[in-house]
Structure 1
């Protein structure tokens, strides 16, 4: 096993563990729940097989659906995010994103903020719309998408700051 495989396996296990044990039990004001587990999808290396990446994203969502008994909403949101990730990277970093993304956590830039914010909004929109699935609750859906996204974005940047490589 190479170093990248070990790092990604460890990242998968740690993010799922903390999502299931800690973050799923946080419900600020009764409806704000952070979902920082999508960091696995956001930070997954670019130079791997796309099909393998989609399978890992599926497994991430499936494991969370099993623990949450949520009927596939996490799986659908993870697969959607994994499927559009390449386009989000092109939108955020330009067509030379492959050169810029060698170490995404090296510095926080406007491109990284754009990438994380749009990714979180897409994931949370799919997740919460499928979770509630009733247009009579459109204001609750919008409120949960916005508030959970803000909280998740802040948490993701906090985690990125904690795992950031030390300056040389």
Structure 2
């Protein structure tokens, strides 16, 4: 039963929403660092699945986190953007290998996977904090939040992805 990719993705979806809402939204390192670990959903989601379903599920992920976090559709906007841009990011990180039908994460190097995760996190935080603060006069605050929250999110995502790695990635 747990070898079914649909069941695995549903479990990941639910756990990431719960962990984000119940644990990481409550953390406040140094007064402004709240890791956004739900980006792991975009890292773990199967590569060759239906893109329309992926964008719909990403919308639901962002919407649920927004509902529980009271963030006025910021996470929804980020989730849809990441879902839409994911193939482009994968093509950038994995190169020509991504275009082949038999491509899996196992066929890629650790550096390529880390680069993919890092780019997802940077895009997530640039969009989120730019629209959260929405002021050019606070550009240093935006950059500070992007830098430190991205670093915290990246470290936690690397730890979580190492801890919960599966064979089908």
- TM-score, normalising length: structure 1: 0.91
Shift in Å, 1:50: 0.4
* Partner residue in 1 for 2:68: 67
Give the secondary-structure state (helix, strand or coil) at the position aligned to 2:30. coil
Would you say 1:101 and 2:104 are equivalent positions? yes
* Partner residue in 2 for 1:45: 46
Alpha-carbon RMSD across the aligned residues, in angstroms, is: 1.9
Partner Cα separation in structure 2 for residue 73 and residue 164 of structure 1 = 28
Give the secondary-structure state (helix, strand or coil) at the position aligned to 2:96. coil
Shift in Å, 1:164: 2.2
Partner Cα separation in structure 1 for residue 144 and residue 150 of structure 2 = 10
* Partner residue in 2 for 1:152: 153
Evaluate the alpha carbon distance shift between residue 75 and residue 96 of structure 1 in structure 2; reply closer, same or farther with a 3 A threshold: same
Partner Cα separation in structure 1 for residue 113 and residue 105 of structure 2 = 13
Contact 1:34 1:151 in 2 (8 A): yes
* Partner residue in 2 for 1:129: 130
Contact 2:105 2:113 in 1 (8 A): no
Shift in Å, 1:101: 2.5
Q: How many residues align?
A: 164
Q: What do residues 69-125 of structure 1 show as CA deviations (whole Å, max 9, x unaligned)?
A: 111100001111111110111111112125442558xx8711011101111000111
* Partner residue in 2 for 1:111: 112
Contact 1:93 1:100 in 2 (8 A): no
